[in-house]
Homo-oligomer: A and B are copies of this chain.
Amino acid sequence: MSTDTKKQIYKPRPVTGFPEWLPEVRLVEQQWFDHIRRVFESYGFCSIETPSVEELDVLRAKGEVDKEIYVIERLHKDENDKSDARLALHFDQTVPLARYVAQNFNELVFPFKRYQMQRVWRGERPQAGRFREFYQCDIDVIGIDTLPLHFDAEMPAIMWEVMNGLPGMENEKIQMRISNRKILIGYLESIGINDKSLITIVTNAIDKIEKNGLEAFYTNMHQVFEETAFDTQEILIHLRDFGTLAARPYNNADELRDALERSRHINTSHPTIKTGIEELCAVLDSLADLPDGAVVADLAMVRGLDYYTGTVYETVFVDDPGYGSICSGGRYDDLAGSYINKNLPGVGISVGFSRLFARMVDQKKIDVSRKSPAHILLVMTAEERRGEIAKTAQILRARGFNVEMYHAAKKIPDQLKYASRKGIPFVWFAEEDGTHQVKNMSSGEQTKTDPQSWVLPEGYARHEAA
């Protein structure tokens, strides 16, 4: 194929919204995935993966989706061939989970505890600068008809362990916020707000209290209720009481109970509110062992109104709450009602992996010193010794080390420079007389050693996959 004519070059541009990493960044991304998987599995969650696509009708079985969907189509499609159902890339892992559980219902053991770490796609406009392809890491527990409340406490405990163990996140201060949807819904019910569109308006306004402040909330509510048949003054008295409650976090169940008791206009014996408080307090009590400030109750939290029915979670950077939630979820009554005639309550929580990882990369908080998983570069002193040196490589590999043999019998300084450029921490010399030396590239120290007994010095273990 090689000709003398000048090659035709098509210079590729990066595709906006589809993240891609250099090897040294990818290596840390793998450590993140490994860590998350290790924590999820340590709690007994099994892995599943679903195809990247679902039938478009499956994605829309619950009604029109507000997320932007990518459909896929064969480039050389036969226009007359209608046998193929229309396929689209999934936009989250919850719809595929629901479909999976419905389809494999008889094969699964319940409560079904699964984790899923896959790419999802959103057909966002490229100029918005958002990711159009990204990883999510989800855990969910699904029961049949009922699901014990202690799972609602297990979710944030697992995610706390996940997020605080991610390499590079050591100095980030994060906080998980928990609420229970029943308190807000029961409260609105108790003051006579049953109209769906009004509920949406009020909850959206409550959601913005953190951003815009209480006064803006009251002004807004005043305007809204003046247009209704409600007694605006009376409603505002109630809403002020709830606003005051919702404007601050509660560190534990006792603080929350005290505040609720002191609030004069919230009817804590209303059955829905009462259940919500009991559930939320039970979850907070179960999380009492986490560090101070790890978890707070936040009654202003509004997430996925149509979807969640009890406990809800979100997670923020304490110093940058405006960045939004990096880990969210909650309890739902009915996972797969669109696909199967069973009542399958569940609770789940999800890390927006790629968004969080990209932030840490942007802020240069991850260690990008290693362009290779190799622990050891084996020096090649002469091409005819390659077979012999390879034997040392195999001994070290069998002992669990990652070993690259240098590719040519170049000068030693060239080989050291290569190790240094790739960030390989140790350079090994298998001498002709059968002795071995290993050089620690960061300290410069070179010592006698043996391939059968050498161990990685402390501090290197966290780079390991295995």
Q: Is the Cβ of A46 less than 8 Å from the Cβ of B371?
A: yes
Q: Within 8 Å CB of A224, what residues of B?
A: none
* Other-chain contact of A76, B123, B374, B403, B408 (Cβ < 8 Å): B123
* 4 interchain residue pairs of minimum CB distance: A44-B404, A18-B51, A74-B123, A44-B374
Q: Is the Cβ of A26 less than 8 Å from the Cβ of B42?
A: no
Q: Within 8 Å CB of A46, what residues of B?
A: 23, 26-27, 371-373
Q: Within 8 Å CB of A100, what residues of B?
A: 20
Bitwise, A51-90 to B at CB < 8 A (1) or not (0) is: 1111111100100000011111111110000011101110
Q: Is the Cβ of A44 less than 8 Å from the Cβ of B373?
A: yes
Bitwise, A205-224 to B at CB < 8 A (1) or not (0) is: 00000000000000000000
CA distance A74 to B34 in the complex (A): 32
A150 at the interface (CB under 8 A from B): yes
Q: Within 8 Å CB of A137, what residues of B?
A: none
A269 at the interface (CB under 8 A from B): no
A264 at the interface (CB under 8 A from B): no
CA distance A19 to B418 in the complex (A): 42
Q: Within 8 Å CB of A41, what residues of B?
A: 373-374, 402, 465
Q: How many monomers of this protein are in the complex? A: 2
A102 at the interface (CB under 8 A from B): yes
Q: Within 8 Å CB of A42, what residues of B?
A: 397, 400-403
On chain A, the number of residues with a Cβ less than 8 Å from chain B's Cβ atoms is: 110
A323 at the interface (CB under 8 A from B): no
* Other-chain contact of A99, B12, B53, B57, B99 (Cβ < 8 Å): B12
CA distance A166 to B419 in the complex (A): 31
Q: Within 8 Å CB of A85, what residues of B?
A: 13, 15
> Least Cβ distance of A126 to chain B in Å?
6
A107 at the interface (CB under 8 A from B): yes
Indicate whether A338 sits within 8 Å of B9 (C-beta atoms), given known contacts A18-B51, A371-B46, A418-B109.
Answer: yes
Q: Within 8 Å CB of A70, what residues of B?
A: 72-75
A233 at the interface (CB under 8 A from B): no
A200 at the interface (CB under 8 A from B): no
Q: Is the Cβ of B47 less than 8 Å from the Cβ of A133?
A: no
> Least Cβ distance of A88 to chain B in Å?
7
Task: Name the residue on B nearest A49 (C-beta).
Answer: B26
A334 at the interface (CB under 8 A from B): yes
A2 at the interface (CB under 8 A from B): yes
> Least Cβ distance of A120 to chain B in Å?
11
A240 at the interface (CB under 8 A from B): no
Q: Is the Cβ of B338 less than 8 Å from the Cβ of A8?
A: yes
Task: Name the residue on B nearest A22 (C-beta).
Answer: B107
> Least Cβ distance of A142 to chain B in Å?
12
Q: Is the Cβ of A333 less than 8 Å from the Cβ of B2?
A: yes
* Other-chain contact of A43, B8, B27, B397 (Cβ < 8 Å): B397
* Other-chain contact of A88, B47, B69, B75, B374 (Cβ < 8 Å): B75
Q: Is the Cβ of B47 less than 8 Å from the Cβ of A26?
A: yes
Q: Within 8 Å CB of A402, what residues of B?
A: 41-44
Q: Is the Cβ of B51 less than 8 Å from the Cβ of A19?
A: yes
CA distance A267 to B171 in the complex (A): 69
* Other-chain contact of A339, B12, B75, B99, B386 (Cβ < 8 Å): B12
CA distance A84 to B402 in the complex (A): 42
